[in-house]
């Protein structure tokens, strides 16, 4: 009996050790021990660029997609320094950025549809056959055309921000349009300006100036005192009073927005003071039990329709894995002016 009990204990101890090591090592150790893998759904699709014209009109750049008849407004953010970060997202540091343009609004379903129609592009969620809806993973057939799952569609949502796009999908769309995703620093300057606003419109929260988790929101933490009229996304530009100092809209709420940078909560301590591009070489294993800082994530900014006051500030930093779309995640594009592209002063 003692021998059997020893064998029994030994077996169970082995199992416990394996499970413990699996959590310590995270995904990498899990792959080694059990042959588990997380498939990559990064974009490797090739496509021809869109036929695009750009016409400047004051502080606006009008981008015309010639084959679809769609026009997109971009706003100008002039070169100069601004204070990046906050007490909670620090350290606060001065950053100099060159001139750039950024979309006035988040990319819409109609704009993204023009990309898909022109290129035949297939998104990460469509390849996988599922996506996250209201923070619940694995909703079958949820994708940008079916934002709540297989039984939903885009009827009446043409001017809502496209969601269920991965970082790779967002980067591909911007590239097709002869643009790019903004850097984290560019996004923050476009949102808060040089006066360091905590929200795009100023330092005081106003639930009437954005689409956040109000009384219509389905989350438990919804704010019953606010009524922005939408349970999830709203048409882009629905809250003109919430414009940033440069005229960018929906920089707070509506949809979280991908930027180009990898997420590193310590990056501000070592960030270059001129045109920071974010950490490099940060494609690290996903978190383990003792590594919970979202390594291997891309930065997302602005907060969504599903969060409240603190999550929509101009300095709040969050992250998501680049191949993990959801019905909260969208994006907007940025553009480097020709004189900077050409190396002219």
End-to-end CA, the chain: 85
Q: How far apart are CA 58 and CA 220, in angstroms?
A: 44
Instruction: Output DSSP code: residue 28.
Output: H
> Which tokens is 41 given?
């759904």
Mean pLDDT within 35-50: 62
Confidence of residue 327 (pLDDT cuts 50, 70, 90): very high
Residue 55 belongs to some domain of the structure: no
Residue 332 belongs to some domain of the structure: yes
pLDDT digits 0-9 by tens, 219-244: 888 899 899 999 999 999 999 999 99
Spatial CB neighbours of 74, under 8 Å, sequence gap ≥ 6: 60, 61, 62, 63, 101, 102, 103, 104, 333, 335
Q: Name which of 218, 249, 246 is nearest 232 in CA terms.
A: 218
| Predicted pLDDT at 328 | 96
Residue 65 has pLDDT above 80, yes or no: yes
Residue 46 belongs to some domain of the structure: no
- Count of domains for the chain: 2
Residue 72 belongs to some domain of the structure: no
Instruction: For helices 109-119 and 167-176, give the axis angle rounded to 10 degrees.
Output: 70
pTM of the model: 0.84
| Predicted pLDDT at 62 | 96
User: What's the CATH number where 250 sits?
Assistant: 3.90.1580.10
Q: How far apart are CA 117 and CA 129, in angstroms?
A: 19
Q: Maximum distance among all alpha carbons in the chain? A: 88
Residue 59 belongs to some domain of the structure: no
Mean pLDDT within 295-319: 93
pLDDT digits 0-9 by tens, 261-283: 999 989 999 999 999 999 986 44
Residue 58 belongs to some domain of the structure: no
Contact 65/51 with Cβ under 8 angstroms? yes
Contact 290/173 with Cβ under 8 angstroms? no
Residue 294 has pLDDT above 90, yes or no: no
Spatial CB neighbours of 178, under 8 Å, sequence gap ≥ 6: 49, 50, 52, 335
Residue 292 has pLDDT above 80, yes or no: no
Spatial CB neighbours of 107, under 8 Å, sequence gap ≥ 6: 161, 162, 170, 173, 330, 331, 332, 333
| Predicted pLDDT at 45 | 85
Q: Name which of 333, 332, 331, 321 is nearest 131 in CA terms.
A: 321
> Which tokens is 27 given?
């995904």
Q: Which residue do the tokens 């343009």 mark? A: 101
pLDDT digits 0-9 by tens, 171-208: 999 999 999 999 999 999 999 999 999 999 999 999 99
Residue 53 has pLDDT above 80, yes or no: yes
Q: 140 lies in which domain range?
A: 77-341
| Predicted pLDDT at 153 | 97
Residue 221 belongs to some domain of the structure: yes
Residue 28 CA, distance from chain mean position:
25
- Pair 270, 193 in one domain: yes
Per the model's pLDDT, the better-predicted residue between 343 and 129 turns out to be: 129
What's the Cα-to-Cα distance from 171 to each of 96, 168, 174, rounded to whole Å?
A: 24, 5, 5
Q: What is the DSSP string of 241-262?
A: GG--TT----SSBSSEEEEEEE
Residue 60 three-state SS = strand
- Pair 282, 336 in one domain: yes
């Amino acid at each position: 009996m003692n021998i059997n009990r020893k064998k029994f204990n030994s077996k169970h101890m082995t199992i416990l050790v394996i499970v413990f090591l699996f959590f310590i090592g995270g995904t990498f150790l899990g792959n080694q021990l059990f042959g588990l893998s997380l498939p990559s759904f990064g974009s490797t699709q090739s496509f021809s660029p869109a036929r695009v014209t750009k016409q400047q009109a004051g502080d606006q750049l009008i981008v015309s997609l010639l084959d679809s008849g769609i026009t997109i407004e971009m706003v100008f953010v002039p070169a100069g320094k601004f204070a990046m970060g906050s007490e909670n997202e620090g350290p606060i540091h001065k950053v100099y950025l060159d001139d750039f343009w950024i979309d006035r609004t988040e990319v819409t379903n109609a704009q993204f549809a023009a990309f898909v129609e022109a290129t035949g592009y297939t998104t990460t969620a469509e390849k996988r056959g599922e996506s996250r809806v209201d923070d619940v993973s694995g909703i079958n057939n949820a994708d940008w055309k079916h934002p709540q799952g297989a039984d939903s569609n885009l009827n009446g949502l043409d001017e809502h921000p496209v969601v269920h796009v991965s970082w790779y999908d967002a980067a591909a769309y911007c590239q097709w349009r002869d643009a790019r995703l903004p850097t984290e620093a560019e996004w923050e300057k476009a949102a808060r300006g040089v006066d360091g606003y905590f929200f795009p419109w100023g330092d005081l929260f106003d639930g009437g100036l954005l689409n956040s988790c109000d009384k219509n929101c389905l989350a438990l933490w919804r704010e019953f005192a606010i009524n922005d009229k939408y349970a999830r996304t709203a048409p882009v530009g629905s809250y003109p009073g919430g414009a940033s100092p440069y005229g960018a809209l929906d920089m707070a709420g509506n949809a979280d927005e991908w930027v180009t940078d990898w997420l590193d909560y310590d990056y501000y301590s070592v960030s270059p003071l001129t045109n920071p591009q974010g950490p490099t070489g940060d494609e690290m294993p996903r978190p383990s039990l003792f590594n919970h800082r979202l390594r291997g994530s891309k930065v997302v900014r602005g907060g969504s329709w599903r969060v409240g006051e603190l999550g929509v500030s101009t300095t709040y930093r969050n992250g998501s894995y680049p191949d993990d779309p959801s019905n909260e995640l969208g994006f907007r594009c940025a553009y480097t002016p020709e004189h900077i592209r050409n190396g002219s002063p």
